[in-house]
Chain A
């Protein structure tokens, strides 16, 4: 079930959990246990922790290629999440999704999506269906700063505003789309784009979990009460590489000084300073133990049988012709 995260201690716990998860996941990539690599969200934890703290368990999210934080903050079990990254049948998606597609419908995670911007209409469609069904559930669509140059995202802004869909559009502006800075790729601004569609939009300090929570709570309240979509641009910073293979090519698109400056505003420290030191230490110990157990669980999980490679291809259970299998 979702973490009770909306208080200072809860927010810290979520940030700590995500940070520790990413550290362990990166280590497992380095040792080859996690194949294909990951896009770590280290540094961006405040966005996931703050937004999800404003949601109910029955609200839903769609996420991105950099989605571990969102998925954990929404309440996925870290052990099953780690097992998914390791490609085990005990994973959230039975080893069929991996890092970029982690989904847990039971806690409202419709899935991370590896195509930049593609999940924004999906969250919007789900939110519309909720309202149609007479419920007050809302959806959050996460996307990066790079995604706001995707046509489908801007088309979706129009639909969401036109039909007053209860969706919260969360742009995680971490300063980069791979190597490219928003200033070099984006005409105008994120908030300006929303404004063009009449969508209320604001920029919030995406390193501060509490600030993100406060802004999201307002947007969620608006959505629940029929006020339609809002956009939240969370100004954050990615501490790690775009992807874990970045260390092989070592592209240089930012200076060490800039990274150090970014890391000086660490959400772990910002939120950690708000709670008693002893509480903080206890939480770190607790999340650490939980994550060590998650790694053990992941590694103990069985690898899927190759003969099952096309299981779940069709919801109806239709079997594909064998082909190479």
Chain B
């Protein structure tokens, strides 16, 4: 069976959707030659009419995608670095996201924003290492963070077919992952449905994006002593609160590991909702980047800001001990 890489899964999802629906088009910087690989081969297959190399004008082409979507297209916009989302936050949060409500339901804005290489890229420093998914969940823009190749395929397909704007964060820490799959098994993954990667009885670890793999490693490490359930929400907005509640019914303990800043991050929301509404027999904990972090350049400083397996393990042990 093929050993599908995460990046190839993204590429395949875009190609399949362009094949299926002539309204799907791709725009972004250097998408023709596919510097990120996600758009590889698409120009040859679909032509300049549907694969548009844009000038370095993020605000214009993001607003342009909104108009094209309202006029019947389904654009996928690729951004070369996650920090560019700060530049186009206006066009996504304030325009694309708001049009349905502000027009009283007269229009839909089916745009997908793809971020191949979000989060720390191993010493790319302050302006290339953000992972701003919590911002989009906060404003209510549909936000997904796939952890595996099959989920990358399935969630991107769903994002492209969705009639609302969706931001797809592909963590740089996951891009190199591979998964043995049968192509026939690749299928859309619905938004708002999490995935239990490993069942457990003592504690639920909610892990976002590439951190799912760290959580699985920690769970394996602890297997003799602590039974860890690893829950991957897959989409952060909408969030699978039911799935989380069901997991906490089994374990009663919660640790969240989230590669975004602590204050007002998605980790805070997960803890708060669990504390308000779900079964908890011990105080929940979260491992995140520091408050307001800007990732420093030097490798050891970059790593010092990111959640680690050691921190996760310690948090799990403490949470279970406190139970």
A and B: bona fide binding partners: yes
Chain A positions within 8 Å of B, measured between CB atoms, are 60, 62, 91-97, 101, 103-105, 110-111, 113, 115, 118-130, 132-133, 139, 151-152, 155-156, 158-159, 162-163, 310-316, 318, 320-321
A122 is contacted by which of B49, B95, B100, B162 (Cβ under 8 Å)?
B95
Contact with A along B144-170 (1 / 0, CB 8 A): 000000000000000000111000000
CB<8 Å pairs between A and B, sample of 26:
A93-B103, A103-B104, A105-B103, A115-B94, A118-B94, A121-B60, A121-B66, A122-B95, A124-B60, A125-B67, A129-B72, A132-B73, A133-B71, A151-B59, A155-B55, A156-B63, A159-B55, A159-B57, A159-B60, A312-B103, A312-B105, A313-B140, A315-B105, A316-B164, A318-B142, A318-B238
B99 within 8 A of partner (CB):
yes
Stretch at the interface among B106-114, B201-209, B289-297: B106-114
Q: How far is the CA of A196 from the CA of B65 in the complex (A)?
A: 24
Taking a contact as CB atoms under 8 Å apart, the answer to whether A316 and B72 are in contact is no
Question: Are the C-beta atoms of A129 and B73 separated by less than 8 Å?
Answer: yes
Is the pair B109, A101 in contact by a Cβ cutoff of 8 Å? no
Q: Is the CB of B70 within 8 A of A126?
A: yes
Assuming the A-B contacts A125-B66, A132-B73, A156-B60, are A93 and B104 also in contact, with contact meaning beta carbons closer than 8 angstroms in the complex? yes
Contact, CB under 8 Å: B59 / A125 = no
Partner pick for B104 among A110, A127, A163, A312, CB 8 A cutoff? A312
**A105 near B55 (CB under 8 angstroms)?**
no
Interface contact A96-B101, CB-CB below 8 Å: yes
Q: Which residue of A lies closest to B241 (CB)?
A: A321
B104 & A128 in contact (Cβ 8 Å cutoff): no
Q: Contact at B70–A122, with CB atoms within 8 Å?
A: yes
Query: Which of B57, B63, B90, B100 is the one whose CB lies under 8 Å from A312?
Result: B100
- Report A108 CB to chain B, min CB distance, Å: 11
- Kindly state the separation between the CA atoms of A282 and B92 in the bound complex, as whole angstroms: 47
B73 CB contacts on chain A under 8 angstroms? 129, 132
A101 CB, min distance to chain B CBs, angstroms: 4
Residues of A close to B61: CB separation below 8 A: 121, 155, 159
Q: Which of B94, B104, B238 contacts A91 (CB 8 A)?
A: B104
Q: Assess the A315–B108 pair: CB atoms within 8 A.
A: yes
Chain A residues near B68 (CB, 8 Å)? 125-126, 128-129
Cβ–Cβ contact A121 & B105, under 8 A: no
A119 to chain B, nearest CB (A): 8
Kindly list chain B residues whose C-beta atoms are within 8 Å of the C-beta of A159. 54-55, 57, 60-61, 64
Shortest beta-carbon distance from A96 to chain B in Å: 4
Complex partner residue of B71 from A97, A119, A126, CB under 8 angstroms: A126
Contacts A118-B91, A121-B64, A132-B73 given; does A111 touch B101 at CB 8 Å: no
Selected from A91, A96, A111, A155, the residue in CB contact (under 8 A) with B60 is A155
Does B184 reach chain A (CB closer than 8 Å)?
no
Report the Cα distance A104→B64, complex, angstroms.
Answer: 19
User: Which single member of A120, A127, A129, A133 contacts B63 (CB below 8 Å)?
Assistant: A120
- Taking CB atoms, residues of chain B closer than 8 Å to A110 are 67, 70, 107
- On chain A, the residues within 8 Å of B52 by CB distance are 163
Q: How far is the CB of B76 from chain A (nearest CB, A)?
A: 14
CB-defined contacts of A123 to chain B, threshold 8 Å? 67
Complex CA gap A163/B75 in Å reads: 16
- Whole-angstrom distance between the alpha carbons of A123 and B73 in the complex? 13
A111 touches B103 (CB 8 A): yes
- The minimal Cβ–Cβ distance linking B95 to chain A, given in whole angstroms, is 6
Question: Chain B contacts of A124 at CB under 8 A?
Answer: 60, 63-64, 67
Closest B residue, CB atoms, query A112: B102
Please give the distance in Å from B137's CB to the nearest CB on chain A. 11
9 closest Cβ pairs, A-B complex: A125-B67, A121-B63, A315-B108, A94-B104, A155-B60, A129-B71, A125-B64, A312-B105, A93-B104
**Residues in B neighbouring A310, C-beta threshold 8 A:** 101
Taking CB atoms, residues of chain B closer than 8 Å to A95 are 104
Residue from the set B63, B75, B91 with the largest chain A CB neighbour count within 10 Å: B63
Interface pair B49/A132, CB less than 8 Å apart: yes
CB contacts (< 8 Å) of A132 on chain B: these are 25, 49, 73
Known A118-B95, A123-B67, A129-B72: A97·B60 in contact at CB below 8 Å: no
Chain B residues whose CB sits within 8 angstroms of the CB of A314 once the complex forms: 100, 142, 163-164
User: Contact: B238 with A122, CB < 8 Å?
Assistant: no
Closest approach, in angstroms, between the C-beta of B13 and any C-beta of chain A?
Answer: 19
Q: Which residue of chain A has the shortest Cβ distance to B66 in the bound complex?
A: A122
A94 to B52, CA, bound (A): 36
- Report chain B residues within 8 Å CB of A316: 108, 162-164
Within 8 A of A (CB), among B176-210: none
- A110 and B70 alpha carbons, distance in the complex (Å): 8
Which A residues are CB-close (under 8 A) to B54?
A: 159
Q: Beyond A118-B63, A155-B55, list 12 extra A-B contacts (CB 8 Å).
A: A95-B104, A101-B103, A103-B102, A105-B106, A111-B102, A122-B66, A125-B66, A126-B70, A128-B67, A159-B64, A314-B163, A320-B140
Hey, which chain A residues are within 8 Å of B49, CB to CB?
132
Min CB gap B138→A, angstroms = 12
Known A126-B71, A129-B68; contact A115-B95, beta-carbon cutoff 8 A: yes
**Closest partner residue, chain A, to B57 (CB atom):** A155
Write out the residue numbers on chain B whose beta carbons fall within 8 Å of the beta carbon of A105.
Answer: 103, 106-107
- Among B61, B101, B109: residue with most chain A CB under 10 A: B101
Query: A311–B105 contact, CB under 8 A?
Result: yes
Residue of A nearest to B65 (CB): A125
Contact B104 A130 (CB under 8 A): no
Chain B residues within an 8 Å CB radius of A115 = 90, 94-95
Residues of the A chain whose Cβ atoms lie less than 8 Å from the Cβ of B164: 314-316, 318
B139 to chain A, nearest CB (A): 11
Question: Could you tell me the distance between the alpha carbons of A126 and B110 in the complex, rounded to whole angstroms?
Answer: 13
Nearest-neighbor residue (CB-CB) of A310 within chain B: B101
The listed residue with most B CB atoms (<10 A of its CB), out of A62, A103, A125, A311, is A125
